[in-house]
Amino acid sequence: MNKNPKLYETVAALMAHGKGILAADESDSTAGKRLEMVHLPNDEGNRQDFRELLFTAPGIEEYLSGVILYDSTLKSGTDDGTPFGDLLISRGIIPGIKVDTGTKDFEGFKGEVVTQGLDNLEERFKEYYDLGARFAKWRMVVSIDETIPTDECLEANSVMMARYAQIAQKCGIVPMLEPEVIFAGGHDIVRAEAVTTRAIQILFHTMMRYKVDLEGLILKSSMVLAGDLYPQQSTPEEIANATLRTFHMSVPYAVGGIVFLSGGQTPKRATENLNAIAKLGAQPWPITFSYSRAIEEPFLLAWGGKPENADEAQKMLLHVCKMNSLATKGEYDGSKDSKLK
């Protein structure tokens, strides 16, 4: 295994204390769903306005270490022609890039999917590196019901992800591994913990077999949550304990850092659960957030797609980032935060 100190420098910068990562890596179609919330049509101009407001918000560099972008976003820029990657770098925020190309059915395994995107990946990485990207994200989808996930599907996805991670590190880019255990379903937190533990164990067993440098990567994990259809939702303390038990059973201590996806939680719930995890004290890995909708939704609702609301929307974005920064330190008090819902 070839060690690359620059990867460790990037990991350390991304996992800086009190900072997190904004996942603004929606595909063009998913960005349209965000814009629907404020009754804007899904066209290139509205997507560009949406991202420009996010990335130019005053003060966010105090709370964000990185932003994950989509291909078309990294290749886009501000109204004055500044590429988004250059804009973020100028603010001390590291650009990242989503590189998987979505999922396909896993033949013979009903209800399971495998992630695609290895074709021409090295060439794509070289282009993204030239555009300023220094980390990347690849997502695998882990659904839960009575019979899935199967080990076969977890193993197939892990091999794909290991190959992605090998190529990323070869190209000087930190791979972020995202095994997302889907929140939708009627499963309880015990089942969620067992599935999440198994998925991450298989993932890292595969990483080690394929000689991926664990210090030069970041895990992007779900929190351990009962399904959204389960009648009794868990407390933040129960979620924190289940999540950290999972990590200690499955994540090697050499891993460079762990970030959380919000995974369908409301903005406030995602922040409260992060806070409960941080209150359990220091762990073998630095831990922070990498939220998408949980950060963008309050911003979008404040903006409403109206130019006259731009300042208020950016202030809301700063507030959400600050509250999650506090949560990474166990210092968030939801009873005093009337803005997050």
Give 3's pLDDT tier (boundaries 50, 70, 90): confident
pLDDT digit string, tens, across residues 81-128: 999 999 999 999 999 999 999 999 999 999 999 999 999 999 999 999
- Residue 68: name the closest of 95, 104, 31 by CA: 95
In a domain? residue 338: no
133: which residues sit within 8 A by CB, 6+ positions away? 69, 74, 85, 95, 96, 97, 173
Give 38's pLDDT tier (boundaries 50, 70, 90): confident
Tell me if residue 339 is catalytic: no
Q: In the chain, how many domains are there?
A: 1
The residue range of the domain holding 231 is 5-331
10 pLDDT more than 80: yes
Tell me if residue 178 is catalytic: yes
In a domain? residue 58: yes
In a domain? residue 185: yes
In a domain? residue 231: yes
In a domain? residue 110: yes
Apex CA 275: angle with CA 271 and CA 278, to 5°? Answer: 140
Give 233's pLDDT tier (boundaries 50, 70, 90): confident
Structure confidence at residue 242 (pLDDT):
98
Structure confidence at residue 260 (pLDDT):
98
- Which position among 178, 180, 296, 297 bears the catalytic label? 178
E runs forming strands in the chain: 20-24, 64-69, 94-98, 103-105, 113-115, 135-142, 174-181, 218-221, 258-260, 287-289
* Over residues 268-294, mean pLDDT: 98
Q: How far apart are the first and last CA of the chain?
A: 46
H/E stretch holding 75 reads: none
In a domain? residue 336: no
Structure confidence at residue 150 (pLDDT):
98
In a domain? residue 141: yes
In a domain? residue 243: yes
- Which position among 220, 268, 296, 297 bears the catalytic label? 220
* CATH number of domain containing 61: 3.20.20.70
Give 32's pLDDT tier (boundaries 50, 70, 90): confident
Q: Is the distance from CB of 303 to CB of 313 less than 8 angstroms?
A: yes
Among residues of the chain, what percentage have pLDDT more than 70?
Answer: 100
